[in-house]
Structure 1
Amino acid sequence: MRQDSVSLESGNVVEWTSETNYMFRLSAFRDKLLRWLDLNPTAVQPAKFHAIVRHWLEEGLQDLSVSRQRDRLGWGVQVPDDPSQSIYVWLDALVNYLTVSGYPERTHLWPPTHIVGKDILKFHAIYWPAFLMAADIPLPASIICHSHWTRDSFKMSKSKGNVIDPFDRAAHFTADGLRYFLLREGVLHSDGDYSDMKVSALLNAELADTYGNLLSRVAAPTLNPQQVFPVLDSNLFPSMSAQSSTSRTTDEDYLLVESVKRLPDIVAGHYDQFLFYRGLEEIMTCLRMANAFVQRHEPWNLTKNPIDRPWLDSIIHVTMETLRVCGILTQPIVPDLTDRLLTKMGVGTTERSWDHLKCFEALEGDGREGYGGRRLSSNSSVLFTRLKTVSRR
């Protein structure tokens, strides 16, 4: 007695049927696909999925059915000159990539970069390149494959009813908050598990306590009564090479400055590889260092004596310069939050591109003050309001 097979994806019993279809000779493209992968290490990213596709190819390919009987699939596109057959959806649907690029008259969007879920990787990394090879059309520049979000360790699906309504959650956490969580916790190579408690904990720790708290500290009227992006005194905070034994600066202070200077190139590398979580971790590391910098120098104890004002201003300047750089770098992730941050610090909308990431010019001691002297806006300095713990998961 034959034992029933069960789908790993849905858990349903597999039903076996047979019918007459048109076939695509997929097996003939195995070696060409292997060469494509081997000559293009970034053809499929990340490396984990590149290896999976290569393993599928090494196991061998069977020819692929590219049509279905029309008497059971009447809604599909009819096979030309054969009214009894409908075109298989994964042949019909993939060709839409060419259609939207303007093919065949123009292909200004080709070759593309595809971003796909891991459950449709085979269709995009084996079937589709083989179809294109057969038609003598250039292959995609890259296929970026991502894993899934789960809930209680199960894949979300409409059939199971365990989905999360993104509009409802964005209304609760804000659009920026939900974007931040998904890009901070979502990684390409493995599934992420969602819960409202995780979202609240992360946003409170990073957007409210780390990011928002830093701005609130240096924009507070008690520390910054003139409400300015203050000027740094290069005598009190000299370049590291000019540091003297009488300087108030510490090695940790210069480590912060150097980390922020290096940050744009590091973050750009991670963003270019779609590793947003790594870029955000680097940004958060600098923001935590800046919070430690403020805590170390205790600027609230410098407000009473006017002689300490230049040193206090220098502390605020370094902190705000860190916030400015981090704000520009997090614009793609939390655009509303960073708009409020940069506006608060007097950074204009035309000064927020990658070309404006040169920082700590005042430390060079050549009279350049960078953004020092800018007036702060009257907007609130609260970037992200702490969230109450929610019971829904």
Structure 2
Amino acid sequence: PRLAISGTDEHGLKIQQAAAASGTSPPEHCAHVSGLFHDLFSRAAVSFTDFIRTTEPRHCRAVQHFWTALQGRGMLYKAFYEGWYCTPDECFLSQAQVTERPDAQGHPCKVSLESGHQVHWTKEENYMFKLSEFQEPLRKWLQGNRHVISPEPFYQLVLRWLEEDLPDLSVSRERSRLQWGIPVPGDSTQTIYVWVDALVNYLTVAGYPDTHHAWWPAAHHVVGKDILKFHAIYWPALLMAVGLDPPEQIYVHSHWTVRGQKMSKSLGNVVDPVACFTRYTVDGFRYFLLRQGVPERDCDYYEEKVIKLLNSELADALGGLLNRCTAHNINPSGTYPPFSELCFRKDSALTPGEASGRAVAEDYQLVASVAHLPSQVTHYFEHFQIYKALESITACVRQTNGFFQRHAPWKLCRENPAEKQWLDTILHVTLECLRLYGILLQPVIPATADKLLSRLAVLPEERALSDVAFLPRYHGKLCPFEGRQLGPDTGPLFPRLEMPRRRQLETKGP
């Protein structure tokens, strides 16, 4: 069994200030924003076992227990701390991480080098976590687990961070300044630092402090590159400090830019996912993000790019192939036609001398490619390389279209028994390829995959990865789909999308 976790981190100065600016209380503000995320995931067909809100009583109990464990092991001390504090990023920054830039009015102000957000000099008495004691343990953990952080460039980045000084970490804030957070147990003047609070959510959902041992440390985190230090240095060190193992895997992803620019409210170029669901369909937008999203580098979004990709790969290549092999004029019986071993001989040595053998070398390459596809896609999925999985599927879809085009079944005569046998075999092979693509695409485009598999009359209980069993007749085994009536035609598999009007005008000739 697996737990799939999502949720919202709801404490901190940034939230406190945002609630004040919107004229609501922090609890009301958090309930509204958390609801938006919950609704967005539901609309986007993102499923989860648990949606954790860090304002929940179960989480507050877990955080206070975790803090007490740190204190009991002598990992905390109180000291005066001063430095540049970035409220939007909720972290202190060193002098080297800060630069000076003009603000909107042209006045010089200090900002974070990494995020560009404004920073302020802050001095206060806080609890400090003995992070410096974990520099060597963290280095050993990483060097002994080469693939614990992936992709590789982010693993190397964390190792470089560990070559620099690792100062102790301020893990509380004065409650007079920050009321919106979990109080430090036994000290009403201090609030637990939001990042200690937020990171403990992974333990909360695993049942900490009572039943987490059944799950921990089998945790796999998926995080943005901007919060890598919190997850790859602070979090493992905090876990080691209370006697727990670091997570098994940290998958890191980069960001989306818009026409080469970072998304920003001030630039007005933030992409609204709900509008994209309407424009491209939910499946279309999911497919684009997962097909074009390369974790190790920022990727660029613009409308024409999305439309071109979806039209090419989903509407034309995949949808067109389904239409062609299920069309009434080519498959009048509307069934999954029989496969002929005489037409498509197994390991036929590829000699076209025998009149009964119709398959050519490229056809055998197609069968080999598609047969290898499930293990290839599984490997890529497990290694967080979804774009490579989809690249592999797309390559096979292109090969299948080539197979169909090469043998032109529409030119074959059904009245001729030998030609009918070959025509049925072409359709059978094509439908088998489509069945496999539908099964493999379910995690990425669930509604489209369901439509494809339903058209092929593949029952819900026949759609697991273990049910693939590609082209069994080629291996001399029975095919449960052979002779089965195809499902109803419910229209195009994926709708062709129109280019934006401004683009059409630009591309017209004089």
Which of the five TM-score ranges fits, normalised by the shorter chain?
Answer: over 0.9
Classify the secondary structure of the residue corresponding to 1:19: strand
1:212 equivalent in structure 2? 319
For the 8 Å contact 1:147–1:191, the answer to whether it is kept is yes
Runs of 4+ in 1 over 6 A off after TM superposition: none
State which of 126, 129, 133 in structure 2 corresponds to 1:28: 133
State which of 419, 433, 437 in structure 2 corresponds to 1:322: 433
Amino acid at match of 2:402: A
2:498 equivalent in structure 1? 388
Distance 1:160 1:10 in 2: 15
Classify the secondary structure of the residue corresponding to 2:116: coil
For the 8 Å contact 2:151–2:252, the answer to whether it is kept is yes
State which of 264, 280, 289 in structure 1 corresponds to 2:399: 289
How do residues 127-146 of structure 1 correspond to structure 2 at under 5 angstroms?
Answer: 127-146=234-253
Cα deviation for residue 305 of structure 1 reads 4.4
Distance 2:431 2:380 in 1: 24
Which has a greater percent of strand?
Answer: 2
Distance 2:314 2:343 in 1: 31
1:61 equivalent in structure 2? 166
How do residues 267-282 of structure 1 correspond to structure 2 at under 5 angstroms?
Answer: 267-282=377-392
Distance 1:352 1:70 in 2: 54
State which of 361, 375, 388 in structure 1 corresponds to 2:485: 375
2:215 pairs with 1:109: yes
Cα deviation for residue 160 of structure 1 reads 4.8
CA, structure 1 residues 12+177, in 2 after alignment: closer, same or farther (shift >3 Å)?
closer
1:351 equivalent in structure 2? 462
2:227 equivalent in structure 1? 120
Distance 1:342 1:96 in 2: 38
- Deviations 1:161-193 (CA, angstroms, capped at 9, x unpaired): 421111111122111111101110111111111
1:298 equivalent in structure 2? 408
TM normalised by structure 1 equals 0.94
CA, structure 1 residues 250+313, in 2 after alignment: closer, same or farther (shift >3 Å)?
same
Q: Which has the higher contact order (CA 8 A, sep 6+)?
A: 1
Distance 1:125 1:118 in 2: 10
- Deviations 1:66-107 (CA, angstroms, capped at 9, x unpaired): 111222222222222323222111111112221221111101
State which of 63, 69, 78 in structure 1 corresponds to 2:183: 78
For the 8 Å contact 2:258–2:302, the answer to whether it is kept is yes
For the 8 Å contact 2:335–2:485, the answer to whether it is kept is yes
Distance 2:296 2:484 in 1: 44
How do residues 145-184 of structure 1 correspond to structure 2 at under 5 angstroms?
Answer: 145-158=252-265, 160-184=267-291
Distance 1:9 1:3 in 2: 10
CA, structure 1 residues 242+231, in 2 after alignment: closer, same or farther (shift >3 Å)?
farther
State which of 300, 318, 326 in structure 2 corresponds to 1:193: 300
1:226 equivalent in structure 2? 333
For the 8 Å contact 2:99–2:112, the answer to whether it is kept is no
CA, structure 1 residues 282+367, in 2 after alignment: closer, same or farther (shift >3 Å)?
closer
Q: CA RMSD in A?
A: 1.9
Distance 1:391 1:8 in 2: 39
For the 8 Å contact 2:307–2:497, the answer to whether it is kept is yes
For the 8 Å contact 1:216–1:382, the answer to whether it is kept is yes
1:11 equivalent in structure 2? 116
Distance 2:265 2:200 in 1: 27
2:370 pairs with 1:260: yes
Distance 2:99 2:400 in 1: 63
State which of 323, 337, 340 in structure 1 corresponds to 2:451: 340
Cα deviation for residue 348 of structure 1 reads 1.0
For the 8 Å contact 1:344–1:381, the answer to whether it is kept is no
For the 8 Å contact 1:215–1:381, the answer to whether it is kept is no
2:313 pairs with 1:202: no
CA, structure 1 residues 122+10, in 2 after alignment: closer, same or farther (shift >3 Å)?
closer
Cα deviation for residue 367 of structure 1 reads 6.0
Classify the secondary structure of the residue corresponding to 2:368: helix
Amino acid at match of 1:132: L
Amino acid at match of 2:488: S
Amino acid at match of 2:320: N
Cα deviation for residue 211 of structure 1 reads 0.4
CA, structure 1 residues 163+368, in 2 after alignment: closer, same or farther (shift >3 Å)?
same
Amino acid at match of 2:463: R
User: Identity of paired residues, percent?
Assistant: 48
Amino acid at match of 1:331: Q
More off after superposition, 369-378 vs 325-334: 369-378
Distance 2:185 2:466 in 1: 53
Distance 2:211 2:184 in 1: 25
Distance 1:95 1:205 in 2: 44
Classify the secondary structure of the residue corresponding to 1:240: coil
Distance 2:299 2:501 in 1: 20
For the 8 Å contact 1:299–1:315, the answer to whether it is kept is yes
Classify the secondary structure of the residue corresponding to 2:125: coil
Distance 1:88 1:184 in 2: 37
Cα deviation for residue 356 of structure 1 reads 1.1
CA, structure 1 residues 201+3, in 2 after alignment: closer, same or farther (shift >3 Å)?
closer
Cα deviation for residue 263 of structure 1 reads 0.7
CA, structure 1 residues 159+72, in 2 after alignment: closer, same or farther (shift >3 Å)?
farther
1:99 equivalent in structure 2? 204
CA, structure 1 residues 3+41, in 2 after alignment: closer, same or farther (shift >3 Å)?
closer
- Deviations 1:36-77 (CA, angstroms, capped at 9, x unpaired): 111112221111111111110011311111111222222222
Cα deviation for residue 221 of structure 1 reads 0.5
2:344 equivalent in structure 1? 237
For the 8 Å contact 1:208–1:384, the answer to whether it is kept is yes
More off after superposition, 190-199 vs 244-253: 244-253
Amino acid at match of 2:123: S
